[in-house]
Structure 1
């Protein structure tokens, strides 16, 4: 029930949960919270994974995951991301970033050099409306 729903919502144990700081999207009605809920919320600090929250809380896995799911469903916590990527995914992502960066760098170089540099364009003082020295 609750546990299975929470597992689907949270994803992997490496998912990081962040407290929702957007007052307008927080629940309007009071959320019933006991000692366990407060302990879990305390440890969900935006840097810990779901697994680390579970370990730090000292509570059983089923309890922690169910509470995290309830807090995410209510909008009190937000799912940030998975902290660890698989090595293959990380290498593929880095290769993609490198190729995009190379392409962007080339575009920026072309813009900076521009067609004016190749054709010997006029200096700004020679262009109408340019920065001419006062006469």
Structure 2
């Protein structure tokens, strides 16, 4: 077994989770949480009155999400520990989703990004129009 210096061990630990490195697993996590459905689902759950929502309520709250994408995204969020799923055995079965503490910590960040997009869309749209006109003129 090879030994390494303390400085080498510190450098290895520092770069263990460097998202800019191709092989870093945090890149996969960043890809997951940057998905538009993840952002909308986490934001919707974070804004819910009691922090939980039924599957059907989520589907209605998030325009354009298919049942397949909603199911897949909720499963991946549950797998990552961001969402919990609670099944109530009634007729029909009631399924509620709730953010975990980990999910709520992400929800704060994603809600800020959502708010930024809502507050700055007009400005971004103006810049896009200016850029497109300049590109078309050249």
Q: TM-score, normalised by structure 1?
A: 0.37
* CA radius of gyration, larger in: 1
Q: TM-score, normalised by structure 2?
A: 0.36
Which structure has more relative contact order (CA 8 Å, sep 6+)? It is 1
Determine which structure has the larger helix proportion and give its number: 2
